[in-house]
Amino acid sequence: MTFHNCEVLDCLDPDDADFEKVVEPVLGPHVPFPAIFDHSAIRPILRDYPVTWSTHGSDAQVVLTPEAFRPNVVWTSDQDDYVLIARDLQASAVEVSWELTEDGSDTVSRGEVRVPTEPCVDAADVFKSAFVDADEDL
């Protein structure tokens, strides 16, 4: 599935919020050999997990590769994977195109749908909800 004019971001719960990663200290500690990347950002992917997420150009792509698709059988996962963000903040829906192929077959089924978006959320509101007590003023 290709979500047009969207991007993919890691899904994080409010409990995952880390103030140290959001606000840079005035004078940070000196580390003689800084880490090349943030190890806490590594999210384990289960082997044979049938969903992959990626951003290609200005689109988000979701690839589903389960063993089989069956009519009227719902597949769910308790894993929070990623969040899709519409690049147009005013968009009320995004266009999604999809392709379905069968392993070992050259037949391709294609279609398009419109998926409604949630209202845009201000980053300051997200910051306040994660780091500021309801009784405090910023």
pLDDT in tens, the chain (138 residues): 999 999 987 766 666 666 666 666 666 566 666 555 554 455 555 556 788 888 889 999 988 887 777 777 787 777 666 778 888 988 999 999 999 888 788 889 999 999 999 888 776 776 777 667 655 555
pLDDT of residue 39: 46
Amino acid at the residue 101: T
Return d(Cα 30, Cα 27) in angstroms, integer.
Answer: 9
Q: Indicate the pTM of the whole model.
A: 0.64
16: left (phi over 0), alpha (psi -120 to 50) or beta: alpha
The helix, strand and coil proportions of the chain, stated in percent and rounded to the nearest 5, come to 15, 30, 55
Contacts of 56 by beta carbon, 8 Å cutoff, 6+ apart:
2
What local confidence, expressed as pLDDT, does residue 29 receive?
62
Q: Taken in order 123, 124, 130, 134, is the CA torsion positive or negative?
A: negative
Spatial CA neighbour of 98 closest among 64, 56, 73, 135: 64
